[in-house]
Amino acid sequence: AGPRGGRKCLHDPLAPGVPRVSGDPSPGRRCERIMAASKPVEGPGGGGSGGGGGTGLSRWQLALVLGAPILLGAGALYLWGRRAARRGGKGASERKTPEGRASPGPCGGSGGGGGGGQPDGPGHEEMSPLDRAQAAKNKGNKYFKAGKYEQAIQCYTEAISLCPPEKNLDLSTFYQNRAAAYEQLQKWTEVAQDCTKAVELNPKYVKALFRRAKAHEKLDNKKECLEDVTAVCILEAFQNQQSMLLADKVLKLLGKEKAKEKYKNREPLMPSPQFIKAYFSSFTDDIISQPLLKGEKSDEDKDKEGEASEVKENSGYLRAKQYMEEENYDKIISESTKEIEAKGKYMAEALLLRATFYLLIGNANAAKPDLDQVISMEDANVKLRANALIKRGSMYMQQQQPVLSTQDFNMAADIDPQNADVYHHRGQLKILLDQIEEAVEDFDECIRLRPDSALAQAQKCFALYRQAYTGNNPLPVQVAMKGFEDVIKKFPKCAEGYALYAQALTDQQQFGKADEMYDKCIDLEPDNATTYVHKGLLQLQWKQDLDKGLELISKAIEIDNKCDFAYETMGTIEVQRGNLDKAIEMFNKAINLAKSEMEMAHLYSLCDAAYAQTEVAKKYGLKPPTL
């Protein structure tokens, strides 16, 4: 898992971008890089909603690419942003000046050509009230551009008082301009109040909505800020980077707040057997996941089919291992605790096993002391200590502490240099840190130690492909694609090889062949729910076949009703279909299955985004385009 709040986002299993992070308690989660986008400088006053020759959002910043859900942190709510970007997005406009000309006009105050509220030239007596109001506004604009915001406010106030009440659009402009001046003085309450007046007079006034959103942000009114900026994004057809970035920022803050409270009080939830088995299969040198040895079972009982074997010793750890073989996972923590409390001979193994299951149920706080203790036991089996370091390092990465994570992986390599798992999992960490060359070195070392490691060879290919693809270099891409062909030929029973190849093929828009690779994956691992989700997403990107896509994702939920990725993906699709209530239901199901606070924050952001759109639809009748 990569740090969500920085330049990494932990999201979907097996998604294009990075292979499974198998050492994480959320195996199969992926991390898409968010390419850094410089946030535009906020200028004074309300300029236009457009932008000059802006670049729009980069591919990695767009909300969702059908078939490969690339989610921009919490901003993933705007799932139609990709389609809008194809039409040519606007850049980050700075909305700098108030509306109207800056020519002199009648308004109190000093400076400028009009002088002390005197009429501006002959014919003033014949001016209509609206003309006089416009003249006051124009004078205010001149003061605004000169940085004389108090005088500008006086002029805009005069324009408001002179304007006929039936002139809604003009009056809304005057309120919005006064809000722009208040903004320069950082009077956020007044900004929000004047923008509210402007929006009441002109409900689809983008500048007023966006300025009010910024005021709500300063006043820490996150929900109101989100609703306003959501309306702006819809009105601008998701073409303006500035409003998209504000939406993303607020959604992340809201998500973190809600997740912190929810995660603190959540009930631990054991993942599905499929998830647990996939997690342990990512280790080859993990003593605690190995089957009971011949001498550890009763010979009489172990041969009785259909009956649980009895362990010879009165050991909580050995009973826990037996429960693992029976997939009776709920009893493992309690049995391991018995071994630890008795200070039995398998105490180190029991600590590591208990810590592992604490991680699996999402209780990192309970896992860390057990991992710390194993790591500090210098007389313990070195493979136990190395495995504990790998798991603690993965936990740190999930907690957005890459320095501590790197330290743990390096220490594991120092104490157990012949452990292939260390290099395999550290290679994945290096991918998340965009250190591709170092990742390839680690995969090579893993392969040297275990030449039959199909997973490491497939992930090495993916690392090389990723490097070539992001570098937009066709020749290395072709070499990497050839590498995938070699891997699946050499290891025809490695489902991960087909899955990673399918992702690369999808990137290259070779949809038919990608579909074949997913079918191979399903043949090898028919109970892998995430493969069905990705095959479903492929149908949307390839054939725009919504029914088939949803059918496959529903199949994933049928296989594993604890597959949070399936619920999350279903929610994103329902948003695109305009079924916001259904989307919120799916996101809430995923939230209840989240295995980390960071993951939960992301899901809350998606849910809040969908909810904001329902509120905007009610208030302004605004709905984004749907599939």
In DSSP notation, 325-383 reads HTT-GGGHHHHHHHHHHTT-TTHHHHHHHHHHHHHHTT-HHHHHHHHHHHHH-TTS-HH
Nearest to 57 by CA among 85, 38, 31: 85
- For tokens 């900026």, name the residue: 229
Contacts of 400 (CB under 8 A, 6+ apart): 3, 4, 5, 6, 598
Give the pair of three-digit tokens for residue 430: 């290096």
Superfamily name and number for 134-265: Tetratricopeptide repeat domain (1.25.40.10)
pTM over 0.85: no
Where do the structural domains in the chain lie, given as residue ranges? 134-265
Query: Cβ contacts of residue 598 below 8 Å, gap of 6+?
Result: 1, 3, 4, 5, 10, 259, 398, 399, 400
Q: CA Rg, the chain, in Å?
A: 30
Among 47, 6, 469, smallest CA distance to 240 is for 47
Measured at the CA of 562, the angle between CA 556 and CA 565, to 5 degrees, comes to 60
pLDDT in tens, 91-116: 444 555 677 644 334 464 433 333 33
Q: Which of 333, 301, 299, 329 is nearest to 316 (CA)?
A: 333
Give residue-wise pLDDT tens across range 147-205: 999 999 999 999 999 999 999 999 999 999 999 999 999 999 999 999 999 999 999 99
* pLDDT score, position 344: 92
The percentage of residues in the chain with a pLDDT greater than 90, rounded to a whole number, is 66
- Number of helices and strands (H, E) in the chain? 27, 2
Helix H, strand E, coil C: the string for 275-340 is HHHHHHCCCCCCHHHCCCCHHHECHHHHCCCCCCCCECCCCHHHHHHHHHHCCCHHHHHHHHHHHH
Q: Report d(CA 13, CA 500) in Å as an integer.
A: 11
pLDDT lower than 70: segments of the chain: 1-97, 100-125, 293-313, 627
- Phi/psi for 174 (5° steps) reads -65, -45
- Cα angle 7-12-17, degrees, rounded to a multiple of 5: 55
Residues contacting residue 511 through CB under 8 Å, at least 6 positions apart: 67, 505, 538, 541, 542, 543
Q: Is 113 exposed, middle or buried (0-12, 13-18, 19+ CB in 10 A)?
A: exposed
Handedness of CA 148, 150, 153, 158 (dihedral sign): negative
DSSP string computed for 413-433: HHH-TT-HHHHHHHHHHHHHT
Please report the pLDDT score of residue 96 as a whole number: 57
